[in-house]
Amino acid sequence: MKTIYLDNNATTQVAPEVLEAMTPYFSELYGNPSSMHSFGGQVNKEVRKARERMAALLGASPEEIIFTSCGTESDNAAVRSALSSYPEKKHIVTSRVEHPAIRALCAHLATQGYKITELPVDGEGRLDMEQYRKALTPDTAIVTLMWANNETGVIFPIEKAAEMAKERGILFHTDAVQAVGKIPIDLGKVPIDMLSLSGHKLHAPKGIGVLYVRKGTKFSPFLIGGHQERGRRGGTEATSSIIGLGVAAELAGNKMEYENTVVRGLRDKLEKSILGIVPNTKVNGTRDSRLPNTSNISFEFVEGEGILLMMDEFGICASSGSACTSGSLQPSHVLRAMGVPFTMAHGSIRFSLSIYNTEEEIDFVVEKIPPIINTLRSMSPYWKTGAQLCESA
Amino acid sequence: MWDYTDKVKDHFLNPRNVGEIEDADGVAEVGSIACGDALKFMFKLGPDGKIAEAKFKTFGCASAIASASALTEMVKGMTVEEASKVTNQDIANFLGGLPQEKMHCSVLGREALEMAISNYQGSPGKAEEEKIVCECFGVTEKEIERAIRENRLTSVEEVTNYTKAGGGCGNCHDTIREIIDRIQAEVRDLPGRPKLSNIKKIKMIEETLEREIRPALKHDGGDIELVDVVGNRVLVATRGACASCQASNQTMKNFVEVKLRELVWPELVVEEVSA
């Protein structure tokens, strides 16, 4: 059975050219970039090139790029660095819809005496900028807001938020794990102090991430050890992964337009077709400001796990914000923060595309979804009532 | 991804007895859409007094659909009295087991069955004034107590897996902990319990073996037979995979004896004899 992979916000396929670029650094060119001999030195040159490529994608300078092991490490390093750089400040501003890498970290810090402000979002997943303005205080050590939401794809106005923090002299960090490679980012124009990204979301391998730290920003390392990454992150460089990420960054830059035209077109087709065929469905998250590859659709009166397992029978991969799949008995914190009703939240499915998806795949999914939903709805005790309600409305 | 048995997958992808019965004898609706799973269950008796037809509709995950489908298959052909003895563990066993985190699906099935039987018998279901412990999922103290007793639960996490209680805001965790402690204390402080007559004791041992122990052993290809009861000594013989199993002595002490002590009499000692 062919796999139709529409779960690219979870992880992506390593691009063939990325894998090809990485392979020699496992077996032949295995030198340590810190070594004095030229066998190691030649690897160092490639690591440097990867750093330049990554910087180019972000509109940053190479020395502002720190390679880490993953997005979670980058997030931890950023927030903890801010707290140790400004020990007198005890307040963190974040949102209710962050990834667990930030959410759980903040919840942990709350038990250590830090005050956390979790900004609410509206029904469309948008940040209330007035509340944000009010949340910024002289005691605020750092603002950490995601650039784009992993579940809905909603893009926060990070440029504006970063400027507002800068005006008050507050450090600004963004978890841009879902945004990098999907929407253009130019750190030359946006006053962001720190930015996290993860390699495996943009066709590089798992186990490699980046923390961007703007020149002049006070930084206190999370991993203390050797002199690697200019003393800001100890540990021997994951050379092959770094080199792979460099190629992936270049690929992302080259494919940016494709992502925002072709991939966006496929996403729109998928969304429009499903909404057109299946009644009682709704898109979660504002369509005005959203990643081009993500569509979060709620199917009323059915439960997401059932949909996923039935799609799995056809080789279709997606994910759900339902309670049964979240492992916490409650629907996703993102949909709850948006106030999505239970009838909708439990039946939410996130489709996330990549440059490797084709129109045939989308057509296949559009063909398979309606009977799956019909089957599950015919079993649901709520379905009839729901249909009647809608007809009379 | 959940590790579902083939039987769970089969009952999810090909659910048996979906639908409603117009003139059902017993009907029940449990759960709610807010909680993430809900089950409507109904049955109709045949002229012989046995359940001739059972149907369901469910909103929930794959294991909820499979549990409901399994339940309808299990109770068909049973008398109401037999059906009233079906436990959540029976439903899980029928499906070849459920992931711990999904045990609440089997509890939902048992609750629906019980309420449908109450409905048939004309008695009210869940009384309104029952104390709710978990506000998020509307779980009552009685439901939690029952799940703890029937499934020998010892932690808040287990109670959440079986009843959902405590799976939301977490405010009720202390209360759940207290209920667990109270029930564990009850099991420990048994001197206050009236002494069992020998006949009653043997009967209870037989019932417990039948209901709680043999199905679990059979699941692993083993079996057990009661040979005799001498005072507090329960003499048993092992069968099937248990007879040749190196760990059978462990099973006797850690599972059979624990279960009998908990459900029958705290001083029972299980001994294996060849018979």
CB pairs under 8 A between A and B: 75
Parallel, antiparallel or unpaired: strands B51-59 and B26-32: unpaired
pLDDT of residue B230: 85
Mean pLDDT of A360-370: 98
* Best CA proximity match to A211, nearest among A56, A50, A58, A66: A66
Confidence of residue A199 (pLDDT cuts 50, 70, 90): very high
Dihedral (CA of B109, B110, B111, B115) sign: positive
Give this complex's ipTM: 0.85
Residue A263 has pLDDT above 80, yes or no: yes
- Whether A391 shows a pLDDT value over 50: the answer reads no
d(CA B65, CA B71): 10
CB contact under 8 A, B61 and A324: yes
What is the reported pLDDT for B32?
A: 81
Residues of chain A with CATH 3.90.1150.10: 4-10+256-379
Q: Is some CB atom of chain B closer than 8 A to the CB atom of A310? A: yes
Average pLDDT value for residue range A1-20 = 97
Mean pLDDT of chain B: 87
| pLDDT reading at B189 higher than 70 | no
A97 pLDDT more than 80:
yes
What value does the mean pLDDT take over residues B78-87?
A: 94
Q: Min CA distance, B151 vs chain A (Å)?
A: 20
HEC string of A248-267 equals HHHHHHHHHHHHHHHHHHHH
Q: Are the beta carbons of B18 and A330 separated by less than 8 Å? A: no
Write down the pLDDT at residue B138: 83
pLDDT for B129 equals 63
- Confidence at B7, pLDDT banded by 50, 70, 90: very high
Comparing C-alpha atoms, which of A331, A350, A294 is closest to residue B61? Answer: A331
Would you say A211 and A217 are in contact if contact means Cβ atoms under 8 Å apart?
Answer: no
Tokens of A70: 């993953």
pLDDT, mean of residues B14-22: 94
Torsion, Cα A51 A54 A55 A58, to 10 degrees, reads -170
CB contact under 8 A, A381 and B61: no
* Cα–Cα distance for residue pair A139/A119, rounded to 1 Å: 16
Given a cut of 50, is residue A106 above it in pLDDT? Answer: yes
Structural tokens at position B21: 């019965």
**Which pLDDT score, from 0 to 100, does residue B21 have?**
95
Percent of chain A residues past pLDDT 70, beyond the cut: 96
Strands A316-317 and A4-5: parallel
SS3 label, residue A173: strand
Mean pLDDT of A51-58: 98
- Closest Cα in chain A, distance from residue B95 (Å): 17
B198-272 belongs to CATH 3.30.300.130: yes
Residues of chain B found within 8 Å of residue A331, distances taken between Cβ atoms? 36
Of A353 and B159, the structure prediction assigns the larger pLDDT to A353
**For chain A, what is the mean pLDDT?**
94
Rg (CA), chain A: 22
CA distance A346 to chain B (A): 6
All CATH 3.40.640.10 domain ranges in chain A, comma separated? 16-252
pLDDT score at B150: 86
Q: What is the pLDDT of residues A316-335, one digit of tens each?
A: 999 998 776 656 677 889 99
CA distance B105 to A323: 13
The answer to whether A339 contacts chain B (CB < 8 Å) is: no
Is the pLDDT confidence value at A156 over 60?
Answer: yes
Q: What is the DSSP letter of A112?
A: T
The SS3 of residue A108 is helix
**Cβ contacts of residue A282 below 8 Å, gap of 6+?**
A275, A297, A298, A300, A344
A342 contacts B168? CB cut-off 8 A: no
Burial (Cβ within 10 Å: 0-12, 13-18, ≥19) of residue B196: middle
Q: Specify which residues B122 forms β-bridges with.
A: none
Which one has a higher pLDDT value, B262 or A314?
A314
Per-residue pLDDT at A88 = 97
Residue B20's alpha-carbon distances to A256, B57, B199, in angstroms, are: 53, 7, 44
- Architecture of domain B6-121 in CATH? Alpha-Beta Complex (3.90)
The predicted model gives A243-248 an average pLDDT of 98
Q: What topology is assigned to A16-252 in CATH?
A: Aspartate Aminotransferase; domain 2 (3.40.640)
Residue A57 has pLDDT above 80, yes or no: yes
Which CATH code of 1.10.10.10, 3.40.50.300, 3.90.1150.10, 3.20.20.140 fits the domain covering A4-10+256-379? Answer: 3.90.1150.10
Residue span(s) of chain B under CATH 3.90.1010.10 come to 6-121
What 3-state DSSP class applies to B133? strand
CB atoms within 10 A of CB B95: 26
pLDDT above 90: residue A136: yes
Looking at residue B252, what is its pLDDT? 76
pLDDT band at A392 (very low <50, low <70, confident <90, very high): very low
Q: What is the pLDDT of residue A358?
A: 98
Cβ within 8 Å of residue A269, ≥6 positions away:
A359, A362, A366
Residue that is written with structure tokens 């303005």 in the block: A133
Q: How far apart are CA A40 and CA A174, in angstroms?
A: 34
Pair of tokens at residue A21: 């670029």
Percent residues over pLDDT 90 in chain B: 40
pLDDT value at residue A105? 97
Long-range pairs for A307-311: beta carbons < 8 A, 24 or more residues apart:
A307/A347, A307/A349, A307/A372, A307/A373, A307/A376, A308/A349, A309/B9, A309/B12, A309/B13, A309/B62, A310/A372, A310/A375, A310/A376, A310/B13, A311/A365, A311/A368, A311/A369, A311/A372
pLDDT at A387 over 70: no
- Going by pLDDT thresholds of 50, 70 and 90, the confidence category of residue A389 is very low
Q: What is the pLDDT of residue B275?
A: 57
Residues of A with catalytic function: 324
Q: Which residues contact A295 (CB under 8 A, 6 or more apart)?
A: A153, A267, A270, A271, A283, A350, A351, A352
Of A37-51, A87-101, B52-66, B234-248, the one with minimum mean pLDDT is B234-248
Chain A interface disruption, residue of B3, B10, B33, B42, most A CBs within 10 A: B33
Answer yes or no: is pLDDT of A238 > 70. yes
CATH architecture label of B132-188: Orthogonal Bundle (1.10)
Which has more confidence, B225 or A8? Answer: A8
Mutate to test the interface with A, among B13, B42, B61 (most CBs of A within 10 A): B61
- Given a cut of 70, whether residue B125 has pLDDT beyond it is no
Phi, psi of B54, deg, nearest 5: -140, 135
| Measured distance CA(A14)–CA(B125) in Å, rounded | 56
Q: Are strands B233-239 and B269-272 parallel, antiparallel or unpaired?
A: parallel
How does residue B239 score in pLDDT terms, banded at 50, 70 and 90?
confident
Query: pLDDT tens-digit profile of B24-70?
Result: 999 999 988 777 789 999 999 999 999 999 999 999 889 999 999 99
- The amino acid sitting at B28 is A
